[in-house]
Structure 1
Amino acid sequence: MPADPTASPRRGPARRGEFRYVLGRALPFLVIVLATLADVLTPPVERFDRFLIAAPALAAATWSARGTAAIGTLAMAATAVTAAVRGSLHPALLGNEVVLAVVVLAAAVSSHLRQRREAELRQLGAVAEVAQSAVLRPLPPRLGTVDLRLLYEASAACAHVGGDFYKALKVRGGVRIMLGDVQGKGLPAVEAASLLLGSFREAAYTAPDLPAIARRLEASMARYAERAPESEAADRFSTVLLAEIPDDRPVIRLLSCGHPAPVVQRGGTVETVEFSAPSVPVHLPVPVDAPFTVEEVPFGPGDRLLMFTDGVSETRDASGAFYPLERRLRAWADEPADRIPELLRQDLDRFGAHGLDDDTTALLVVRDGPAAPLRRIPSPPLAGSLRT
Structure 2
Amino acid sequence: MTDTEYGRRRHPLRLRGRNVAWVPPLLLLVGIVLLDLNTTERFRIITWIVLVPGTAAAICGVWTTGAFAVLAVVTYVAVDSAWPGEYQAGLGDFVLVAVGGLLAVIACAVRLRKERQTLHIQDIAATTRRTVLRPLPPRWAGLEHAGVYLAADVEARVGGDFYDIQPGPHGTRLFVGDVQGKGLGAVETAAALLGTFREAGYHEEDLATVAERLEIRMLRHRRHTTALGREDGDRFATAVLIGFPEDAPESIEVVNFGHEPPLAVGPRGVRELPSGDGLPLGFGDLAGGLSPVHRVPLAADETLLLVTDGVTEARDRRGAFYPLVRELAPAVADRAGRPDPWLLVRLVRDGVLRHCGGRLVDDTTVFAVRRVRGAAAGEDGEDGEDGEEGRLRS
Common fold: TM-score over 0.5 = yes
- Aligned twin of 1:87: 84
Determine the structure 2 residue equivalent to 1:327: 326
Give the aligned partner of residue 104 of structure 2: 107
Does structure 1 conserve the Cα–Cα contact (< 8 Å) formed by 2:261 and 2:273? yes
Distance 2:379 2:96 in 1: 75
Q: Tell me what 1:315 maps to.
A: 314
CA RMSD, Structure 1 to Structure 2 (Å): 3.1
* Contact 1:200-1:213 within 8 A present in 2 as well: yes
Letter in structure 2 aligned against 1:165:
F
- Identity, % of aligned positions: 34
Match of 1:252, SS state, is strand
Larger mean CA deviation between 240-249 and 282-291 belongs to: 282-291
TM-fit CA distance, 1:235? 4.1
Query: 1:276 offset after TM fit, Å?
Result: 4.4
Cα contact 2:41–2:87 (8 A) shared by 1: no
2 CA distance for matches of 1:119 and 1:356?
26
1:70 is displaced (CA, Å) by: 1.2
Amino acid of the structure 2 residue aligned with 1:206: H
Asked if 1:72 corresponds to 2:69, the answer is: yes
TM-score calculated relative to the size of structure 1: 0.82
1:347 to 332, 340, 351: 351
Please point out which of 163, 170, 173 is paired with 1:166. Answer: 163
Within the alignment, does 1:336 sit opposite 2:333 as a pair? Answer: no
Q: Flag structure 1 segments of 5+ consecutive residues without an equivalent.
A: 1-16, 379-388
C-alpha spacing 1:72/1:286, structure 2 compared with 1 (3 Å): farther
* Structure-1 separation of matches of 2:128 and 2:60: 31
* TM-superposed deviation, 1:273: 1.6
> CA, structure 1 residues 298+40, in 2 after alignment: closer, same or farther (shift >3 Å)?
same
In 2, Cα distance between equivalents of 1:258 and 1:100:
64
Deviations 1:312-357 (A, max 9, x none): 2222333433333223443225353343323332333223333555
8 Å CA contact retained: 1:304, 1:366: yes
Q: After superposition, what is the alpha-carbon deviation per residue over 1:268-294, rounded to whole angstroms, capped at 9, x for unaligned?
A: 2211123342x2222359955344122
Matched residue, 1:10: none
- Aligned partners of 2:195 and 2:80: how far apart in 1? 72
2:137 alignment partner, SS class: coil
* Structure 1 SS opposite 2:74: helix
Question: Of the candidates 129, 134, 137, which is equivalent to residue 134 of structure 2?
Answer: 137
Query: Is 2:223 aligned against 1:226?
Result: yes
Choose 137-146 or 172-181, whichever is displaced more: 137-146
Query: Within the alignment, does 1:363 sit opposite 2:360 as a pair?
Result: no
AA matched with 2:169: R
In the TM superposition, what whole-angstrom CA distance separates every residue of 1:284-305 from its partner, at most 9, and x where no partner exists?
5995534412222101322211
Question: Which SS does the other structure have where 1:86 is aligned?
Answer: coil
Letter in 1 for 2:348: L
Alpha-carbon spacing, 1:92–1:349, altered in 2? closer, same or farther (3 Å): closer
Please say if residues 143 and 175 of structure 1, whose CA atoms lie closer than 8 Å, have aligned partners that are also in contact.
no
Equivalent-residue separation in structure 2 for 1:163 and 1:132 (angstroms): 10
For the 8 Å contact 1:244–1:252, the answer to whether it is kept is yes
SS at match of 2:348: helix
Aligned residue-pair number: 361
Deviations 1:32-79 (A, max 9, x none): 233323332333233312322222222111111111111112221232
Is 1:273 aligned to residue 255 of structure 2? Answer: no
